[in-house]
Chains A and B, each alone.
Chain A
Amino acid sequence: MTEYNIKDLKSGGLMKQKEKDLFSLRLRVVGGYIRSDQLVKLSRIANKYGKGYIHLTTRQGVEIPNINFKHFEEVRKELAEVRLDMGSCGQRVRTVTACQGTECSHGLIDCLSLAKEIDRRYFGIGGHPHKFKIGITGCPNGCVKPQENDLGIMGRLKKGFVKENCTYCGLCAQVCPVGAIEVDKSNRKIVFNKNKCIGCGDCVYSCPTQAWLRRKEGYSIFVGGKMGKFPKLGVKVFDFVETKDKVFEIIEKTLEFYKKFGKKGERFRNTLDRVGIDKYVEYAQ
């Protein structure tokens, strides 16, 4: 049998269990989406090599516990039949999480295609001081908790207003979570406070007459979120990034900054706190 180094195994998604020779296999899952044929295969593998169950991770991933070391290659071959790869551990870019923004009626961006693209470009890239987590949420409801990630992405909306379509019913003012809209029905007047608006799109989607219109989707970027022993929430560093390409550019600059300025074993948030977030923003923008 091939001799494996535990650290190498871990980097490829194998985690040593308490029990001798047993490992939990972490798989590469994007945004929590798994095809049904892959689930059938997972079930077969868990029955054949594991103990008949799988574990769903906190980051929407899947792990198959209780896999004996000696079956590792066979399991990997079976996984490859349904195009499932091993996951990422260690000092690497981890599983990219995403909400159901692609399907959800609140979703402002196509989270799944963005998650797939980010996974394709950056998944498993190593050489950073510590792990690096990316999460994508489709709207300001933030169900995927972008502020808990080293880099979080949130879908946002810029809207337009067509005066002729407005019936001044007041519904938008009612649904706006931040009170950015005031409707004066008797004088047929709308006051919109742009500075209060968080770009959630609730007014656009509830407007019965399409007076509020979707004008442009974009992305807010949060950095420096982490959990663990010393949790900290990520902070918003870019309010409205207009294109996917710019998002990719920011991710690349961020990883570059982390590699350049981070100390070994330091989470990105600690690098930011030590080096200064202003310096980072200047670097990444």
Chain B
Amino acid sequence: MKEINPNESLDLKGVACPGNFVRAKIRLEQIQAGQILEIILDDGDPIKNVPRAIREEGHEILKVEKIHDKWKLFIRKT
């Protein structure tokens, strides 16, 4: 898979639900459609809830990477 270059990055380690989603949502509102936001999420509830919530908002998740016990998501704003 080709390398993805995010326009923005948001570290949500240690941020509980639904605060992590809300912060991602706010950041997504600040960028342009088509731009890419990279977020880092904890295991457990965050990875269970945030990707689905982002999808339900209509954004596209381009890639998911597991880095030890954290998860990196690349989201394209629609």
Given contacts A208-B55, A209-B61, contact A167 B48 (CB under 8 A): no
Chain A's interface size range is 10 to 19
A209 surroundings in chain B (CB, below 8 A): 61
A171 is an interface residue with CB less than 8 A from chain B: yes
B33 is an interface residue with CB less than 8 A from chain A: no
CB < 8 Å: which of A202, A205, A208 contacts B64? A208
Return A268 CB to nearest CB of chain B, in Å: 36
How many A-B contacts are there with CB distance less than 8 Å? 38
CB < 8 Å: which of A105, A170, A175, A202 contacts B66? A170
Cβ–Cβ contact B47 & A167, under 8 A = no
Return B67 CB to nearest CB of chain A, in Å: 12
Cβ–Cβ contact B1 & A167, under 8 A = yes
The CA of A209 and the CA of B71, in the complex, are separated in Å by: 16
Given contacts A170-B66, A206-B48, contact A105 B61 (CB under 8 A): no
A102 surroundings in chain B (CB, below 8 A): none
Given contacts A167-B1, A174-B47, contact A105 B52 (CB under 8 A): yes
Return B35 CB to nearest CB of chain A, in Å: 17
5 A–B contacts from the bound complex (CB under 8 Å): A167-B63, A170-B64, A174-B47, A206-B48, A208-B51
A169-B66, A174-B43 provided; 10 other pairs, C-beta below 8 A?
A169-B63, A170-B66, A174-B48, A174-B66, A174-B71, A175-B48, A205-B55, A206-B51, A208-B55, A208-B61
